[in-house]
């Protein structure tokens, strides 16, 4: 049987085309290998070559003794390539189960962002969850290493330290104030990833990550703990709204402790209102009341119009200026200048202030920092208020003498008392441990008051903490204490609240050579006691006593007098 010639021609034609095609492919492959090799290699890499971020941790925050207060710890976050992840709904449901998420919601989220290549699924997961996800495999869901801030002291120092956000950037406190110093700078590198977005090869380091710088605070963690513990306990006992305490090194101006109650845990901030994060020691102002009287007396002594033994007649326990009546807790009769501090006489302080020109009195208050920011660098710090003497009326001239008509923070009041404790110098306060150079430069700061005035006022304040004074409950066994109580009516719209008070005690120890200054403020105690000598003074005793022992400050061996019922301090 003869073959069909048309069929044979077709076979030859098709075979020829096949051979020519193979030949063309061979020639093209040889050409590409010889002449386009580098181009193809780059194109291949471009499809798998990626630039990835190398995270850098924040600097650590340490206390003055090198104890850890804040540190960044490595942690994983979960991210997805939505288009890849949506290829397996089963994988998404497994991931959702591990992360305790709703699977349908996650699928909808991925679908709405499927045009993106990167989408966070969940930030900062636990190590067990991360391990389970590693075992599960990719499926378009990946892990990214990041850092999370951890605070070992939890609520004890939270108002000082503040906290960071989910991206490890400072949001409150020292973390925010020194963000540029603490924040690290991420690096970058080129890597080759496989089809599952796993890194199979490091290609090139583009930039090296730079960790944040460590920071040493002036805070002493041991004293900070005592301060917070005492505030928390007494806040509950007195059913108070809030309380704060500031402890300064009288020789350097460094803040050794700054505590507030109520507090919050920066490691887990769920359930806290934003107002809880406020550092009341630097943001909340109040009228200092009788705690300002020592400076009125200092102005009087500096004017040389008075000595500590000058007699002031305070009978009958009240004094009228126009329609306004200034009152003492009771009729003290004739008092020496020293006894005006001892008994906390408003009438006595007023009569002295009236003989001092307004500008002189204002200058004294201004020079100790009233109405001026401490420049601690703390976020949200307020400067308080001290009206210009040009605007003082007769009544304001009088009330200024016993701490009404001005406002201050606990930190400002502590700095003012440090003037007396340091021999008359207004030292700059600092949340950071000061360098030797800074401390050396402070020696050149001129004194506001003469040494004689400082000695006399401190002696008067020491008597306040005796059995005869309003601050006897501030006494510390083995140490002499100098201080002043304050009981202030809370201001309200159009006047003052009759039954709401702020209790304050400000003082220093040892009185013979002050090393530490402490201010304790309790806002609105509601358990029946509200005088500064009843509420704030005992807290002062506990915190100051603990600090003196921790710092190994020698007792000045002043024998304690027998306890008698203290005089009441009514700083009306």
As annotated, the active-site residues are 290
Question: Can you read off the two tokens belonging to residue 351?
Answer: 């009569």
146 close to 55: Cβ distance less than 8 angstroms:
yes
Q: Which two tokens stand for residue 458?
A: 């401190």
Beta strands in 338-434 (DSSP E): 385-386, 406-407
Q: In sequence order, what are the residues at sequence separation of 6 or more whose Cβ sits closer than 8 angstroms to the Cβ of residue 343? A: 328, 332, 335, 470, 567
Q: Phi and psi (nearest 5°) for 13? A: -65, -45
| DSSP track, 288-354 | -GGGGHHHHHHHHHHTTS--TT-EEE-TTSEEEETTEEEE-SS---EEEHHHHHHHT-HHHHHHHHH
- Per DSSP, what are the bridge partners of residue 189? 52, 205
543, exposed or middle or buried, with CB in 10 Å at 0-12, 13-18, 19+? buried
Does residue 458 contact residue 514 with C-beta atoms inside 8 Å? Answer: yes
Cα separation, 180 vs 177, in Å, equals: 8
Residue 138 neighbours by CB distance under 10 Å: 20
CA dihedral 161, 167, 169, 173 (to 10 degrees): -30
Q: Which residues, other chains included, contact 407 with Cβ-Cβ below 8 Å and sequence gap of 6+?
A: 285, 286, 287, 288, 384, 385
- List of residues 6+ apart from 339 with CB closer than 8 A: 332, 345, 348
Q: Tokens standing for 69?
A: 């207060």
SS (H, E, C) 479-490: ECCEEEEEEEEE
| Rounded-to-integer distance, Cα 302 and Cα 305, Å | 8
Number of H helices, E strands in the chain: 20, 21
d(CA 282, CA 413): 10
Measured from the Cβ of residue 423, the count of other Cβ atoms closer than 10 Å reads 17
DSSP strand pairing (141-150 vs 311-313): unpaired
Alpha-carbon distances of 153 from 71, 160, 227, 228, rounded to whole Å: 11, 11, 13, 11
> In angstroms, what is the C-alpha Rg of the chain?
36
């Amino acid at each position: 049987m003869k073959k069909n010639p048309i069929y044979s021609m077709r076979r030859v034609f098709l075979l020829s085309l096949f051979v020519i095609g193979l030949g063309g492919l061979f020639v093209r492959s040889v050409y590409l290998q010889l002449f386009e090799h580098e181009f193809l290699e780059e194109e291949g890499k471009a499809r798998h070559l990626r630039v990835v971020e190398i995270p850098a941790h924040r600097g650590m925050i340490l206390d003055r003794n090198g104890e850890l207060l804040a540190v960044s710890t490595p942690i994983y976050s979960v991210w997805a390539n939505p288009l890849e992840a949506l290829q397996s709904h089963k994988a998404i449901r497994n991931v959702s189960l591990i992360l305790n998420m709703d699977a349908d919601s996650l699928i909808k989220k991925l679908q709405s962002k499927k045009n993106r290549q990167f989408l966070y699924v969940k930030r900062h997961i636990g190590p067990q969850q991360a391990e389970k996800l590693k075992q599960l495999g990719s499926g378009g869901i990946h892990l990214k290493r990041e850092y999370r801030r951890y605070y070992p002291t939890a609520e004890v120092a939270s108002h000082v330290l503040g906290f960071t956000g989910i991206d490890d950037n400072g949001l409150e406190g020292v973390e925010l104030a020194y963000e540029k110093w603490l924040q690290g700078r991420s690096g970058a590198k080129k890597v080759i990833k496989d089809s599952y977005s796993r890194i199979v090869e490091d290609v090139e380091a583009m930039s090296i990550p730079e960790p944040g710088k460590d920071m040493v605070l002036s805070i002493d963690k041991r004293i900070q703990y005592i301060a917070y513990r005492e505030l928390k306990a007494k806040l509950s006992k007195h059913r108070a709204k809030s309380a704060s305490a500031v402890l300064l090194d009288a020789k350097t101006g460094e803040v050794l402790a700054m505590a507030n109650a109520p507090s919050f845990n920066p490691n887990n901030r769920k359930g806290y209102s934003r107002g809880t994060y406020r550092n009341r020691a630097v943001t909340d102002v109040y009228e200092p009341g009788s705690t300002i009287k020592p400076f009125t007396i200092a102005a009087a002594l500096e004017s040389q119009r008075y000595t500590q033994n000058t007699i002031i007649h305070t009978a009958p326990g009240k004094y009228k200026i126009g329609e306004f009546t200034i009152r003492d807790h009771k009729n003290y009769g004739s008092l020496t200048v020293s006894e005006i501090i001892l008994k906390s006489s408003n009438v006595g302080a007023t009569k002295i202030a009236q003989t001092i020109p307004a500008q002189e009195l204002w200058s004294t208050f201004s020079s100790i920092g009233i109405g001026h920011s401490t420049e601690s660098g703390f976020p949200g710090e307020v400067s308080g208020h001290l009206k210009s003497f040009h605007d003082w009326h007769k009544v304001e001239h009088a009330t200024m003498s016993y701490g009404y008509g001005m406002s201050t923070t606990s930190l400002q009041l502590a700095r003012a008392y440090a003037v007396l404790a340091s021999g008359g110098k207004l030292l700059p306060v600092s949340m950071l441990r000061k360098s030797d150079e800074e401390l050396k430069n402070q020696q050149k700061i001129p004194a506001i008051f003469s040494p004689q005035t400082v000695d006399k006022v401190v002696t008067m304040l020491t008597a306040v903490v005796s059995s005869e004074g309003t601050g006897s409950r501030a006494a510390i066994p083995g140490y002499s204490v100098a201080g002043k109580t304050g009981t202030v009516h809370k201001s309200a719209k159009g006047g003052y609240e009759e039954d709401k008070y702020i209790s304050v005690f400000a003082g220093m120890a040892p009185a013979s050579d002050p090393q530490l200054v402490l201010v304790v403020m309790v806002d609105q105690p509601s358990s029946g006691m509200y005088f500064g000598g009843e509420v704030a003074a005992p807290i002062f005793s506990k915190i100051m006593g603990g600090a003196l022992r921790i710092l190994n400050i020698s007792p000045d061996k002043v024998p304690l007098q027998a306890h008698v019922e203290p005089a009441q301090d009514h700083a009306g």
